[in-house]
Amino acid sequence: MDFALTQEEKELAERAREFTREYITPRAHELERRNEFPMEVVQKAYEVGLMNLHIPEEAGGPGMSLLAETLVSEATGYGCAGIATSIMCNNLAFAPLVIAATIDQLKEYVQPLITGKKVQFGAFCLTERKAGSDVASVATTAVRDGDEYIMNGVKCFITNAPQASLFTVFASTQPELRHKGLSVFMVPKTKGVKIGHVENKMGQLNSVQSEVVFKDVRVPAECLVGKEGEGFKIAMMTLDKTRAGIAAIATGVAQRALDEAARFANIRHQFGRPIGKFQGIGFMLAAMGARASAARLLTRYAAWLADHNMPVSKHSAFAKFFASDAAMQNAIDAVQIMGGYGYLTEYPVEKLVRDAKLLQIYEGTNQIQRLVAGNAILKESVDLDTGFHVEYPGRDAPLF
Ligand code: COS
């Protein structure tokens, strides 16, 4: 595998890093204290071309790769995981549409949102109070009525919902069929769509999550994406791709924790020398560096597999759980290395701990990722007599 980035990817990554240095890192703490959606920063990210990268050219987007998106998410995640989530969330909202909508649907419903002067938002509405990990338990319904569907239900923990003008909603068209009865709809903000309770969180305060209430919403039948009953598979195919984006934000957090800890370990003197010169600290820095690098490699490999239309479930699960665990561990280690200073809110690392925790939870808990990866490994298991894979989904996929 060639690890070199293309010229376009290098330029994009540099633009994202510059943007982060100028607009995110210096303001992340101050914005966090306001505890509101960081609209000016996200608007700027939109203006400099860091959003909606995967929308195909035929629908007005740049048609870039998943790898390109991960470069932006790592760079912005380095500055602030919450702001990175706010910037990245359109990727999640629009991914099911890029996967399963027709070009005409994309042109009509997505293109106007990504080509204006003002940034606009989509929101991915899957989770409900009683349907988190267990997607098949979605209770929101969409009942066909002539050339419309009538939608009822309540979604929760929906990122960017208060800002959104288009909702990608997973609803049951045949509840008795459980996962085979789920369908996906594009729902513009219209009569009957209301924002409910806005969540108060421990971290990622620069991103906003809320309930979305659908009460007798009349959704035109043309807003059904794919066919009735395809919603569960579309959700899984979406998450297979977007989890690399979370892994990328996590890589940014893991790297930031390392950089802050290393800087401190160089300048903080105790017992007549920089504390980094003590093996106890040096070994911690080494492990933190290895974690950040491994997280980056797993993330880019997952994105590369998806970009080459190869099976990606297992590797996006690896990337998501490994990178977010790395972010969490590195953040905790950075606080430890910085001692009392690490625990103070005027230093950046306590925020990394609070932000990293959510990375282990959203877009599928790390336990769900291990379940997905474990199941994939069982399916690929090798017949010890012949040496052939029993059921290997990607014979052409290069081994990592
Ligand atoms: N791509 C395509 N199809 C997939 C798939 C994938 N990655 N994963 C599963 N499917 C298909 C299966 O092949 C199966 O198809 P059939 O019914 O035709 O046989 C169907 O989907 C059901 O699969 P499975 O039995 O594995 O589903 P489970 O209900 O056991 O759930 C998990 C599987 C737990 C992995 C899934 O529900 C999940 O990812 N949950 C986490 C959801 C999540 O991330 N929530 C966070 C909120 S989103 S921000």
Per-residue b or e along 232-266, where b marks 16 or more CB atoms closer than 10 Å to that residue's CB: bbbbebbbbbbbbbbbbbbbbbbbbbbbbbbebbe
Confidence of residue 117 (pLDDT cuts 50, 70, 90): very high
How many CB atoms lie under 10 A from the CB of residue 268?
15
Averaged pLDDT of the chain: 95
Domain annotation covers residue 52:
no
Helix (H) or strand (E) holding 398: none
372 CB near ligand 1 (under 6 Å): yes
> Residue 313 sits in which domain range?
232-381
Compute the distance between CA of residue 170 and CA of residue 173 in angstroms, rounded to an integer.
10
Q: What's the number of domains the chain is made of? A: 1
Q: Is the pLDDT of residue 400 over 80?
A: no
- Give the distance (Å) from ligand 1 centre to CA of residue 269: 52
- The candidate with the shortest Cα–Cα distance to 309, out of 210, 204, 397, is 397
Residue 370: inside a domain, yes or no?
yes
Q: What are phi and psi of 153, to 5 degrees?
A: 155, 175
- Check 69, 74, 260, 363 and give the catalytic one: 363
At 341, is the secondary structure helix, strand, or coil? helix
Question: Cα separation of 380 and 148, whole Å?
Answer: 43
Give the distance (Å) from ligand 1 centre to CA of residue 398.
25
The verdict on residue 173 lying in a domain is no
Ligand 1 atom index nearest CA of 126:
48
Q: Whose CA is nearest to atom 48 of ligand 1?
A: 363
**Per-residue pLDDT, 36:** 86
Q: Tell me, yes or no, whether 237 lies in a domain.
A: yes
Q: Which atom of ligand 1 is nearest to the CA of 92?
A: 49
Q: What is the pLDDT of residues 194-218, one digit of tens each?
A: 999 999 999 999 999 999 999 999 9
Q: Is the pLDDT of residue 56 over 70?
A: yes
Please report where in the chains the tokens 């665990």 appear, as a residue. 325
Write down the pLDDT at residue 13. Answer: 98
Which residue, among 95, 97, 207, has the nearest Cα to 159 in the 3D structure? 207
Would you say residue 98 lies in a domain? no
Tens digits of per-residue pLDDT, 13-41?
999 999 999 999 999 999 999 888 999 99
Q: In Å, what is the CA distance from 373 to each residue of 306, 308, 376, 387, 399?
A: 16, 20, 5, 21, 16
Domain harbouring 309, CATH code: 1.20.140.10
**pLDDT (tens digit per residue) in 228-271:** 999 999 999 999 999 999 999 999 999 999 999 999 999 999 99
Proportion of the chain in helix, strand, coil states, percent, rounded to 5: 55, 15, 30
Q: Is residue 166 part of a domain?
A: no
Whether 363 sits among the annotated catalytic residues: the reply is yes
Residue 2 pLDDT level (bands cut at 50, 70, 90): confident
Does the CB atom of residue 363 touch ligand 1 within 6 A? yes
Residue 180 DSSP symbol: G
Residue 285 in any domain: the answer is yes
Residue 169 lies in a domain: no
Q: Is 133 in the pocket of ligand 1 (CB under 6 A)?
A: yes
pLDDT tens digits along 70-95: 999 999 999 999 999 999 999 999 99
User: Best substitution site from 128, 135, 207 to test ligand 1's pocket, by max atoms within 8 Å of Cβ?
Assistant: 135
Residue 391 CA to ligand 1 centre (angstroms): 18
pLDDT score of 392: 53
pLDDT tens, residue by residue, 142-164: 999 999 999 999 999 999 999 99
Average pLDDT over residues 267-284: 98
